[in-house]
Structure formats: C-alpha cells, structure tokens
Amino acid sequence: MSEIIQLVYASRATFESPNRAGIDLNVARILMQSRRNNIKLNLGGVLYYGDSCFFQCLEGEKEPLEATFDIIKHDPRHSDIKVLMRSTVPERTFGVWSMKYVPAQADIKRLLQTKGLERFDPYQFDTATIEQILGILTNAADPTKGASHITHNAILHFLETNKIIASLVGLAIIIGLMVLWWL
C-alpha cells in the first residue's frame, strides 16, 4: 500500500454568503463535487467553512491527492490558497468519509476565543491550533452524514456483497424455472 498524505489548506471564498441558517448553496456544490470526485480516487477528508474561509483536510495516496489539489488551486470559487500542514500519516483520520462536512461549530468558536481570535481565520493558525481544529472536526457530527459516509472500500464491499446476493437470487430463479419446465 502506498503512503497516505494528509494535506491541510486554507482558502477564501470568492462568493458572498447570505446570512441564513443551513449550508450555503456554493459550499453545498463544492461538497457534492468533492464527494463525487474523491470517491473515484479513494480520497477523503473534511471541509469546514466559516467567516468566508475554507479549512480543508485532504487525505489519500500522493498522486491522486496532488492532482486533486492542482484542480482545487484553479477553482474560481476560492482564492488565497495556503497549505497549512502536509504530512505522511499511518492511516486516514477521515477514512469513512469521501468528504466530511462540519458546519460552524461552537467548539471551534470556543477554541478561537481561548486563542484571542474573534473570527475563523485559518491564515493565523499555528500548528497546534490546526491540530486542535482537526481533532474537533474528527469528533464533530456531519449533518449530511448519509451522503458523505461513502468510501471506495465501502462501495467495493457493497458490490461484493451484492454479487453474492445476485448469484443466490439468480440461482433461485434458475431452479424455479427448471421446476416449472419439469411440471
């Protein structure tokens, strides 16, 4: 198995976010596109959006991760992309998500207050703060869990399981047809 890279970056949204409850439509589109693309490449991670800033952790094998990050860097929906942390990890932290989404979090706001920060600005974070935020995001609930809880391995397992079920159903149909033919 290839080594797993964990890449954490920040960026600023280039779109205006309306002040309303729920997930911003632009963020929802990014999230859906990330999930669709990441599952094909066996990538995963987490996305957090607050105060017009993205904080994203991408995890996976080096080549697909780098190719995806190159695409992200040219996405017009955000700018000022800055790599905050990059490391090789023994396993994925967000392994069960193609892309976990965590909305504005009270725990993150409390952490920022302890650091004397009034708003979510990942460009000001030191390594310890980045790691604390990753810890919060790891344990936070994903309100879109049903759509994000899909991984490449889960799909392969599902297909393998269904192959067995399909074979059993097919066998039952053949036996049923044979019984009808003999009658």
For tokens 């974070």, name the residue. Answer: 125
3-class secondary structure, 175: helix
CATH number of 4-150: 3.30.70.100
Specify the residue for token string 């504005």.
104
Q: Is 171 exposed, middle or buried (0-12, 13-18, 19+ CB in 10 A)?
A: exposed
**Per-residue pLDDT tens for 110-135?**
999 999 998 999 999 999 999 999 99
Could you give the percent of the chain with pLDDT greater than 90? Answer: 49
- How far, in Å, CA of 3 to CA of 53, rounded? 29
DSSP of 106-170, one letter per residue?
HHHHHHHHHTT-SS--GGG--HHHHHHHHHHHHHS--TTHHHH---HHHHHHHHHHHHHHHHHHH
CA 107/CA 38 separation, integer angstroms: 27
Taking the domains of the chain in order of start, what are their residue ranges? 4-150, 151-183
Identify whether the C-beta of residue 62 lies closer than 8 Å to the C-beta of residue 2: yes
Low-confidence spans in the chain with pLDDT less than 70: 1, 18-22, 104, 145-173, 176-183
Please check whether residue 105 is in contact with residue 140, taking contact to mean a CB–CB distance below 8 angstroms: yes
Q: Are 5 and 56 in contact (CB under 8 A)?
A: no
Tell whether pTM > 0.75. Answer: no
